[in-house]
């Protein structure tokens, strides 16, 4: 078993223990609902990728820290993330999460809201457990980052819902949404692990930039695959973003730059699968696929440049955090993060 796999196993044990310890048994059904969402009721249930907590733990290793000491902070980050998933599923009327019915579909909207709110409050309570293992000043800095990330996610989710009913949304507005809803939690995860490990302000700024680029690259890659992805690899339809009229980067860019695409989009309230294929072709003809891919590569270069700045100021050679980031991208894109790849 690799060191990274072992660390993830230790995290899973801590996550379950810290969450269930705070979930009272005298409230009928609450432990069942929490366990259902996290996939603990059935050993065969799927779980999330745990990217954010693992980034937190492995970023501390960049500064020579023992990551097991920081488990409460990592668990808090994952609990906060899962609160956002529960509320996101309700707001988007999602049906499936981790291969099973969303919590709100299984137990009802009202109680799913309560569980989400419960996890949000719990995350802050768990975070404070790390105080006994770290310098109090570093804890205060890290908790400030955690609080701000919580507020940013709220703001991002608000914009996400607001944009659904807005006829005109710019590419820049969409990128700000990604920064708030996706980048800030990823950035906060890296920063918190490093701050708790004693990283200086220069390293903190570098990790903040890396996290910002990573969140944008993750989402823009997802937007690209949502239209041009190989369904046999992604396991998802490459028509859904178009048929549901989802406001993604290539669609918004197409509306701004392709008159043919905009005309067809505006003239069809309902988009059939056949029309979606035609629209995808229009986007490709306008070069939107290449521009979307270029946008992903731009942010991957940002990650690489931040990595090089850290390497110049830090002689620790731990690669675990970079391995995690690589695993989040398709093989072709991940190769561009290789230190020997051309900038």
Task: Quote the pLDDT of residue 234.
Answer: 76
Q: How many CB atoms are located within 10 Å of the residue 331 CB?
A: 7
Alpha helices in 22-108 (DSSP H): 30-38, 51-61, 71-92, 103-107
Task: Quote the pLDDT of residue 2.
Answer: 82
pLDDT interval class at 312 (50, 70, 90)? confident
Which sign does the torsion angle of CA 140, 143, 148, 154 carry? negative
Alpha carbon distance 154, 342 (integer Å):
38
Task: Quote the pLDDT of residue 94.
Answer: 85
Alpha carbon distance 341, 137 (integer Å):
39
* Residues 18, 72 contacting (CB under 8 angstroms): yes
pLDDT interval class at 236 (50, 70, 90)? confident
Alpha carbon distance 44, 73 (integer Å):
27
Alpha carbon distance 337, 264 (integer Å):
38
Radius of gyration of the chain from its Cα atoms, rounded to whole angstroms? 21
Is residue 318 over pLDDT 80? no
**Which residue, 190, 72, 185, is CA-closest to 134?**
72
Mean pLDDT score, 117-134: 97
Mean pLDDT score, 130-137: 95
Share of the chain above pLDDT 90, in %: 77
Mean pLDDT score, 232-260: 91
Query: CA-based angle 90:92:93, to the nearest 5?
Result: 60
Is residue 180 over pLDDT 90? yes
Is residue 343 over pLDDT 60? no
**Which CATH class, in words, describes the domain spanning 1-150?**
mainly alpha
Task: Quote the pLDDT of residue 61.
Answer: 94
pLDDT tens string 65-96: 999 999 999 999 999 999 999 999 998 888 88
Task: Quote the pLDDT of residue 332.
Answer: 65
Task: Quote the pLDDT of residue 341.
Answer: 41
Is residue 283 over pLDDT 50? yes
**Which residue, 86, 108, 110, 107, is CA-closest to 97?**
86
Q: How many CB atoms are located within 10 Å of the residue 218 CB?
A: 20
Is residue 330 over pLDDT 80? no
pLDDT tens string 192-231: 999 999 999 999 999 999 999 999 999 999 999 999 998 8
Helix (H) or strand (E) holding 159: helix 136-164
Task: Quote the pLDDT of residue 306.
Answer: 92
Give Cα separations from 338 to 3, 178, 224, 305, 319 (angstroms): 21, 25, 22, 11, 12
What distance separates the 2 farthest-apart alpha carbons in the chain? 61
Please tell me the least confidently modeled range out of 13-17, 96-100, 182-186, 188-192: 96-100
Q: What is the 3-state secondary structure (H, E, C) of 171-214?
A: HHHHHHHHHHHHHHHHHHHHHHHHHHCCCCHHHHHHHHHHHHHH
Domain ranges, ordered by start, for the chain = 1-150
* Residues 307, 210 contacting (CB under 8 angstroms): yes
Strands of 277-338 (E only): list them.
none
Task: Quote the pLDDT of residue 311.
Answer: 82
Mean pLDDT score, 306-326: 82
Averaged pLDDT of the chain: 92
* Residues 56, 189 contacting (CB under 8 angstroms): yes
* Residues 73, 117 contacting (CB under 8 angstroms): no
Alpha carbon distance 92, 301 (integer Å):
32
Task: Quote the pLDDT of residue 338.
Answer: 55
Alpha carbon distance 151, 172 (integer Å):
20
Give Cα separations from 298 to 170, 312, 337 (angstroms): 19, 21, 11
Is residue 340 over pLDDT 50? no
Task: Quote the pLDDT of residue 99.
Answer: 86
């Amino acid at each position: 078993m690799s060191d990274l796999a072992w660390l993830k196993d230790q995290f899973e044990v801590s996550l379950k223990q810290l969450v269930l310890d705070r979930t009272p048994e005298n409230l009928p059904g609450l432990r069942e609902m929490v366990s259902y969402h996290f996939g603990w009721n059935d050993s065969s249930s799927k779980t999330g990728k745990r990217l954010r907590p693992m980034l937190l733990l492995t970023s501390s290793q960049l500064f020579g820290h023992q990551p097991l000491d920081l488990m409460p902070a990592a668990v808090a980050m994952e609990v906060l993330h899962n609160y956002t998933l529960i509320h996101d599923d309700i707001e988007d009327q999602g049906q499936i999460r981790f291969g099973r019915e969303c919590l709100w579909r299984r137990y009802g909207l009202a109680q799913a809201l309560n569980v989400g709110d419960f996890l949000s409050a719990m995350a802050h309570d768990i975070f404070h457990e790390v105080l006994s293992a770290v310098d109090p000043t570093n804890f205060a800095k890290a908790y400030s980052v955690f609080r701000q990330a919580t507020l940013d996610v709220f703001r991002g989710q608000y914009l996400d819902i607001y944009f659904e009913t807005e006829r005109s949304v710019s590419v820049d507005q969409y990128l700000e949404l990604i920064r708030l809803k996706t980048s800030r939690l990823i950035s906060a995860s890296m920063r918190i692990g490093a701050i708790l490990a004693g990283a200086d302000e220069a390293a903190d700024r570098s990790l903040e930039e890396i996290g910002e680029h990573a969140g944008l690259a993750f989402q823009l890659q997802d937007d690209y695959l949502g239209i041009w992805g190989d369904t046999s690899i992604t396991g998802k339809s490459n028509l859904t973003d178009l048929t549901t009229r989802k406001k993604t980067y290539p669609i918004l860019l197409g509306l701004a730059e392709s008159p043919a695409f905009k005309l067809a989009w505006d003239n069809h309230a309902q988009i059939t699968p056949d029309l979606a294929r035609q629209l995808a072709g229009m986007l490709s003809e306008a070069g939107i696929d290449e521009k979307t891919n270029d946008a992903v590569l731009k942010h991957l270069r940002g990650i690489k440049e931040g990595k090089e700045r850290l390497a110049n100021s830090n002689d620790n050679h731990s690669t675990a955090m970079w391995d995690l980031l690589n695993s989040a991208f398709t093989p072709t894109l991940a190769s561009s993060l290789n230190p020997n790849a051309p900038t």
